[in-house]
Amino acid sequence: MKIVVLDGYGLNPGDLSWEAMEALGELKVYDRTSPAELMVRAEGADALITNKTVITSADMDALPQLRYIGVLATGYNVVDVDSARKKGIVVTNIPAYSTHSVAQMVFAHLLHITQRVGHYATENKEGRWSANPDFCYWDTPLVELHGKKMGIVGFGNIGKATANLALAFGMEVYVYSSKPQSLLPQGIQKRTLDELFKECDVVSLHCPLTSDTLELVNASRLALMKPSAILINTGRGPLINEKDLADALNEGRIAGAGLDVLSTEPPRKDNPLLKARNCFITPHIAWATKEARERLMSIAVNNLKSYLQGIVINNVAE
């Protein structure tokens, strides 16, 4: 079997090994593949492994030998799955590999906004504390999370893990979910979306991106939030209308935002959130702890190995 990894750098910039996948066939790994390079690199491949490289119906038509596409992520919108299904091409994804890492990033952002550790560490390296007339100083609001209300939009694996961390901090947890209250864990209360934005001190987004959730955070919903509220997004960038959020931050209508995802990645230089007040952005790295990437690699290998053994798992093109 000829296996081609089209854009392996995101998963493995050099600290992991492709050895287990190499044992499954003739393997060629590319760090990145542009649309212009796709056909040359994929020619003759039985299996393509992709993260963000788009594979269209036309691409599949031009690759008659192709029988398997492995997506190195949970989301698989980079592949025309409907066409793959019609052509008998298996498409697999990687579910639930980064749950705890992403939930951890939610609280990394939240603690950064409420405590500003980086700000004070930088100030003190520049001598501010040494020159201070008092034993301590602070010039940002310092916020205790205990007793605050945490709103979680979407209650899948990551939403649940985030809720557990919030409960450990002594927060009250509210969720927007299709699940009835009777099926929610003890201590977690269901709210409508507008109720959640209105009542909660922190809102964290964990829902899939659909036509219904596109820009669910917009001017009207931001207007419901408390001036002291914080928005966290480790889900999908287009869940937020970025101009509306930038305006709310710059005008002080909400206290802060911690974002690991944006609508376009890498972002355009004129993205209004890049310079918005109290907006803190990480470059889509919530998933990228070494532990999570090791799990991702293991699942990707097992997906392909199982396929070769005639047992198809994690198939999104069924």
Give residue-wise pLDDT tens across range 267-312.
Answer: 999 999 999 999 999 999 999 999 999 999 999 999 999 999 999 9
pLDDT at 265: 96
What pLDDT score was predicted for residue 177?
Answer: 95
Q: Report, in this order, helix, strand and coil percent for the chain, each rounded to 5.
A: 35, 15, 50
Is the pLDDT at 141 greater than 90, yes or no? yes
Which of 206, 221, 236, 293 is an active site residue? 236
Condensed to tens digits (0 to 9), the pLDDT of residues 159-172 reads 999 999 999 999 99
User: Measured between alpha carbons, how far is residue 1 from residues 29, 107, 305, 317 in Å?
Assistant: 14, 43, 11, 21
Helical ranges in the chain per DSSP H: 19-22, 35-42, 57-61, 81-86, 99-115, 117-125, 157-168, 193-199, 219-222, 242-250, 290-308
CB 157 within 8 A of CB 99: yes
- Interior CA angle at 23 toward 21 and 26, to 5°? 85
Assess whether 114 and 165 both reside in one domain. yes
Is 236 annotated as catalytic? yes
Same structural domain, 140 and 225: yes
Does residue 229 share a domain with residue 172? yes
Q: What is the rounded average pLDDT for all residues in the chain?
A: 97
Claim to verify: residue 137 and residue 249 sit in the same structural domain: yes
Is residue 315 situated within a structural domain? no
Looking at the structure, tell me whether residues 78 and 114 fall in a common domain: no
C-beta neighbour count of 252 within 10 angstroms: 10
Closest CA to 242 of 223, 217, 221, 224: 217
Mean pLDDT along residues 25-32: 98
pLDDT > 90? residue 140: yes
| 284 catalytically annotated | yes
Overall average pLDDT of the 58-70 stretch: 97
* Same-domain pairing of 74 and 26: yes
Residue 107 lies in a domain: yes
Residue 317 lies in a domain: no
The pLDDT confidence band at residue 318, using thresholds 50, 70 and 90, is confident
Residue 316 lies in a domain: no
CA distance 178 to 81: 26
User: How many Å apart are CA 41 and CA 44, to the nearest integer?
Assistant: 9
21 with 138, same domain?
A: no
Residue-wise pLDDT for 216-236, tens only, equals 999 999 999 999 999 999 999
Tell me the β-bridge partners of 217. Answer: 240
User: For the residues 59-85, what does the mean pLDDT come to?
Assistant: 96
Give the largest CA-CA distance in the chain.
75
Residues 62, 187, single domain; the answer is no
Verify that 105 and 89 share a domain, yes or no.
no
Which listed residue (37, 43, 251, 265) is catalytic? 265
Whole-number pLDDT of residue 6: 98
Predicted confidence (pLDDT) per residue in 177-216, tens digit:
999 999 999 999 999 999 999 999 999 999 999 999 999 9
Catalytic residue among 67, 85, 112, 284, which? 284
Count of structural domains, the chain: 2
Q: Which residue segment(s) compose the domain that 66 sits in?
A: 2-95+290-308
Has residue 88 got a pLDDT over 90?
A: yes
Distances (CA, A) of 152 to 69, 147, 180, 224, 256: 33, 16, 15, 15, 16
Q: Which residue has the tokens 């893990």?
A: 161
Active-site residue flag, 112: no
Query: What are 241-274's pLDDT values in tens digits?
Result: 999 999 999 999 999 999 999 999 999 999 999 9
Whole-number Å distance between alpha carbons of 205 and 187: 19
